[in-house]
Copies of this chain bind each other. A is one copy, B any other.
Amino acid sequence: MRNGAVPDVVIRRLPLYLRTLRQLRREGQQAVSSEELARFLGTTAAQIRRDFSYFGRFGKQGYGYDIETLIRELEAVLNLDRTWDVALVGYGNLGQAIAHYRGFEPNGFRIAAIFAKSPEHIGQVVNGLVVLPETEIERVVRELAIRIGILAVPAEAAQEVADKLIAGGVRALLNYAPVTLHVPPGVVVRDIDPIGALQSMTYYLEPQEPRPSADGTPAPDGLNLAAVAAEAKRQASR
């Protein structure tokens, strides 16, 4: 671990800056001011300058930042000037979606091992990788010197899987399971928690009854959803 000089909340914001800068670069832009970046991200120029100030060499206030340089600096700070191998554990619906996601490699991550529990999944070949049994996690992760694990397993299994990954040398866990993992010092965890995110948004919503959709087919009078879909299909296939 680096020493905690830079608050974790700042570190968490850097990837967002990087993503935005890469987008601007794709659009052919070469320089950007903290004000413009702030508008893009719905934050303030002051916060962006404050965040960057932790990494002295970013500072080019007034003139705006050179996008190419800033991208390289951020990649260096985040250790993204290289590709990281990742172990994926869990091969249900979510694990399969993650295994097929095309967004990892362009962003510095490569799924190098996939582990599953169910015999129907073990032995399958995905993107040239053989799906391995979870019993092999510690050994394989150590052999491949993998430092990052993605947990796409049920809540009940998450802690045990995390322990195996950590025993094999993993030091960073991306956790999709709805549980709070307990990990030793030196291991960092980020939770992907869509339920928590939804539950933190309903606070802001007017508590108003939606139309009932008890039986799972929420078609109100006058709107035949099946017909809507069928008609759209016809038009699409013309």
Give the contacting residue for A216; candidates B129, B131, B236; CB below 8 A: B129
B132, A225: Cβ atoms under 8 Å?
yes
Mark A67-94 against chain B: 1 for CB-CB distance below 8 A, else 0.
Answer: 0000000000111101011100000011
B192, A229: Cβ atoms under 8 Å?
no
Number of interface residues of A (CB under 8 A): 104
Give the contacting residue for A19; candidates B77, B103, B196; CB below 8 A: B196
Question: Is A50 at the interface (CB under 8 A from chain B)?
Answer: no
- Per DSSP, chain A at the interface is mixed
Ranked nearest first, the 7 interchain pairs of A and B with the lowest CB-CB distance are A128-B216, A133-B232, A190-B197, A15-B196, A15-B199, A172-B201, A119-B236
Report Cα–Cα, A114/B103, bound state, in Å.
23
- Which segment of A28-36, A57-65, A145-153, A157-165 sits at the interface? A145-153
Given known pairs A140-B225, A218-B113, A225-B132, the reply for A207 and B82 (CB within 8 Å) is: yes
Chain multiplicity (copies):
2
B200, A15: Cβ atoms under 8 Å?
yes
A interface list, Cβ under 8 A from B:
1-2, 8, 11-12, 14-16, 18-20, 23, 40-42, 77-80, 82, 84-86, 93-94, 96-98, 100-101, 103-104, 107-110, 112-113, 119, 122-123, 127-133, 135-136, 139-140, 143-148, 150, 171-172, 174, 178-180, 182, 188, 190, 192-211, 213, 215-218, 220, 223, 225-226, 228-230, 232-233, 236-237
A198, B148: Cβ atoms under 8 Å?
yes
A84, B144: Cβ atoms under 8 Å?
no
A232, B135: Cβ atoms under 8 Å?
yes
B211, A145: Cβ atoms under 8 Å?
yes
